[in-house]
Amino acid sequence: MTTKDLVLSALFTAIIVVLGLIPPVTLGFIPVPITAQSMGVMLAGCIIGARRGALAYVLLVVLVAIGLPVMSGGRGGLGVLMGPTAGYILGWIIGTFVTGLIAERLVRENQSAARQVAGFLAASLIGGVVVVYAIGIPWVSFAAGTPLDKVLLGSLAFIPGDILKAAIASLAARAVMVGYPLLPQRA
């Protein structure tokens, strides 16, 4: 890892913290709120790549672990990392890595704009939604003592918002790719 890699990871950690300033939307039927921080998975993976993006979320988890209120709703501390949302938080790290890996494989500078956006969208949906849900949903079931099928059903409420987040992240990643050519290659 170079100094540039560390700086980009830290920058994206700051962006993820800022996304946490947007108030969460709490649903009464599942103990996990709707937050903008989950869009950071898609943004970080698509824009700065697998390793740097995952490091951004590792840094976020370190900040949470030491008690800083950097999670959506001003939450922080080890309790957040052990509660119902802990699976999603771990899923964010792995999901960012997968998002970045897919984006690195699918998106090239010499492709058409539509193809680039489609590649970023596929990466965002697979890494930022499928992978994060695959880790987060079983943990919610375990931590909350709720049957898995009920958690799966409750999680359907998040799908429309996550698709919208993936679309926004895809367009943002494409804009950064075109508008900021000095950004080092995703790695």
In a domain, 184, yes or no: no
Q: Count H helices and E strands in the chain, helices first.
A: 9, 0
Per the DSSP assignment, residues forming a β-bridge with 25 are 34
Look at residue 51 and tell me if it is in a domain. Answer: yes
pLDDT in tens, the chain (187 residues): 899 999 999 999 999 999 988 887 877 766 677 888 999 999 999 999 999 999 999 999 999 999 999 998 889 999 999 998 899 999 999 999 999 999 999 999 889 999 999 999 999 999 999 999 999 999 999 998 999 999 999 889 889 999 999 999 999 999 999 887 655 565 5
Do residues 98 and 127 touch, judged by C-beta distance below 8 A? yes
Enclosing domain of residue 80: 3-179
Q: Examine residue 187 and state whether it is found in any structural domain, yes or no.
A: no
Q: Report d(CA 30, CA 171) in Å as an integer.
A: 30
Residue 184 has a pLDDT of 53
Whether residue 160 lies inside any domain: the answer is yes
Structure-token pair, residue 108? 């090239």
Q: Is residue 94 part of a domain?
A: yes
In a domain, 185, yes or no: no
In a domain, 123, yes or no: yes
DSSP state of 74: T
Q: Is the pTM of this model over 0.85?
A: yes
In the chain, how many domains are there?
1
Q: What's residue 25's pLDDT?
A: 82
Nearest to 82 by CA among 139, 1, 34: 139
* Domain annotation covers residue 52: yes
pLDDT at 33 (0 to 100): 75
pLDDT of residue 131: 98
The CATH number covering residue 115 comes to 1.10.1760.20
Cβ pair 95, 17 in contact under 8 A = no
54-74 per-residue burial string, b: 16 or more CB within 10 A, e: under 16: bbbbbbbbebbeeeeebbbbe
Q: What is the pLDDT of residue 22?
A: 87
